[in-house]
A and B are shown apart, each in its own frame.
Chain A
Amino acid sequence: MSAVAGSEPKALSAGYMAWYRFSRNPAALIGALMVISVILLAIFAPLIAPYPDDVGAKVDFRSRHMAPDWAHWMGTDKVGRDILTRVIFGFRVSLLLVIGVLGVAVPVGAVLGMLAGYFSGAVEKIISGFTNVMLAIPPLVMALAIGNVLEPNLVNAMLAITFLWWTWHARLVYRVSKSIAAEDYIEAARLAGASHWHILTREILPNCVSVISVKTTLDAAFVILFGATLSFLGLGVKPPTPDLGTMVADGRQFLPEMWWGVLGPGFAIFYATLGFNLLGDGLRDMFDVEV
């Protein structure tokens, strides 16, 4: 990689170089396309899905348990609804979960990590100690406990996941900001009279952006996976709203004869997590950071 970069003219901007590296990485490009396709499917679900009526509690016993064919690419479920339609709408729930969880967990984790990394002493000890404790909690067990003690639904699943998720970001940002806080230019800024606020937001935060964005992309995959697992266990969205994990759980009752009930939604989960993962790996190579 460095040999290729070395042969480039020097005038190219850092942004172009990053893009160059990204665009030469087929896995990353495929990942980006997969992520974009998932997002587009989720946004335009009512226009794309072949049978938009099948999203609700429709029952049509004449067409139940039909194997995949040209009319129903992924077959139909136990009450005769088109599985492909429900999978496309299922992406909406998955992405909502990602936005809800990471929208809170990433800022909280980043702020705590930065504070712990920049201010040494008591702040560092308390935050990193608490983070380490939280990391020791088996996340699925805790999320199940929280999710079920409260009412099992999407918002509570989100709460339960968020409650545990910020720790990973706190740990990562802590590591990065701690090493940056030791740099000479931070010392210089402080001598020049810069406030803590200025140093945190203008000197340290920009250096954390690349790690945070890589981690967030990779995390999107794991939030989808985690949410699917929760709903597979029965703590997801209330039916009849389509949810990929719930669909797999429903389909499982009719195995092994009606394999399509599991394979379609299962493949959809895998597709989304794989896409975000490949994209995240590509971004990691592009920014050349360790996450």
Chain B
Amino acid sequence: MKGRWTRATKTGPPGKRGTDINMLSNRILLLARRLVGFAGVMLVLSIIIFALARIVPGDPARIALGPSATQEQVDAMRQEMGLDKPLVQQYMDYVTHGVRGDFGKSLISGRQVSHEIASLLPATLELVIATVFLIVVISIPLGVMTARHRNSWIDNVGRFFSIVGVTMPSFLFAILLQLVAASFMPDWPVIGRINYSLDIPAGPTGLLVVDSIVHGRWDVLGSALKHLAFPALALAMAGIGQITRITRSAMIEHQRRDHVLTLKSFGVPERVIIFRYLLKLSSIAPLTIMGLEFASLIGNAFVVEMVFSWGGFASYGLEAILQKDLNAVMAVVLVSGLFFVIANLVIDIALMVIDPRLRFKEAGV
């Protein structure tokens, strides 16, 4: 961080360093570099998962047809699935089809894997968005408060929560929430996405919360939000612990910097310092970590969806893995990777908006 800053100042004050167009192209270059990096991630991921799927003991064609199929049938199936071609050719075929969204047919159901995933993705997307929302809404204020009142009882409560959040497994938290709800909050559902006796609007997005608002169906919205609350909280807990901790330490670290002391000595009110200056500066580290943590959030979604019978992409993935539905497993791993990559791209763009230093950073460095 320090290095970047000195480099930018050495070449002169930001205003004189280049035109706006220059800065814009810098940002585009930075983004392009990240895109190339992410494409590399997807490439290596596809190689690993392909290699893994091909060293498995057991013939995918045999799995698809079942034990009673004759050898001719299996051979025909192998030909149809392209398993008789050389491995490199198979991989190339897989990638060229995969890019167009064709991951082959499920070995169990026989349907197109991409169709199955596409129909379940909105459920998981809704859960993940709600989770990220909860993480931001809970942990940033908590981080600010604990930093502001350092070593007070608020700080201790916050620290306790973040340690519990980080150390308690998601599945345990999910089960505990279910237990609490079942014992003390009988009105709150602990299973499924929605009350299926409602007539659910077939909306444009598949996200129940958005669709019900679009159609003005407040009963559906209420039911969807109630169903969403516990799974999202269970999934958010680990992130809340992590992000609270990091926001707190970033706030404390920046409080001691010269520019903040200058603001204080000029008599700028503390509220303004915290929310106008410190928070922006201190959100860089939590955002970066949130991007990295996204990988484990996706993993935890598998567990949380299972506990709450959420019926989304992650439940599908777990089922596919347990049944050794290889085509589905490969697609699930790749789509999970894509989730991570897109989330990090969004965070990169957010960081560029928040952190002006990135605009001056040379794209080549």
Contact = CB atoms under 8 A, between A and B. Distances in A.
Interface string B304-329: 00110000000001100110101001
B161 interface: no
Contact of A248 (B166, B171, B332, B339): B171
Contacts of B307: 252
Interface in A92-134: 129-130, 132-133
Nearest to B332: A141
A186 interface: no
Contacts of A228: 169, 171
Given A136-B295, A137-B45, A274-B163, A266 B182 contact: no
Contact of B322 (A136, A148, A278): A148
B299 A141 contact: yes
A153 interface: no
A270 B292 contact: no
Contacts, number: 126
Nearest to B159: A27
Interface size class of A (residues with CB under 8 A): 35 or more
Interface size class of B (residues with CB under 8 A): 35 or more
Interface in A235-256: 245, 248, 252, 255-256
Interface of A: 129-130, 132-133, 135-142, 144-146, 148-149, 221, 225, 228-229, 232-234, 245, 248, 252, 255-256, 259, 262, 266, 269-270, 273-274, 277-278
Closest 10 CB pairs of A and B: A140-B299, A273-B167, A138-B298, A256-B182, A136-B41, A133-B44, A138-B295, A266-B172, A138-B336, A141-B336
Given A138-B339, A140-B302, A144-B302, 17 more contacts: A133-B40, A133-B45, A136-B38, A137-B340, A139-B295, A140-B298, A142-B333, A145-B52, A145-B321, A228-B171, A229-B170, A229-B171, A248-B172, A256-B182, A262-B179, A273-B169, A274-B167
Interface of B: 37-38, 40-41, 44-45, 48-49, 52-53, 55-56, 163-164, 166-172, 175-176, 178-179, 182-183, 292, 295-296, 298-300, 302-303, 306-307, 317-318, 321-322, 324, 326, 329, 332-333, 336-337, 339-341, 344
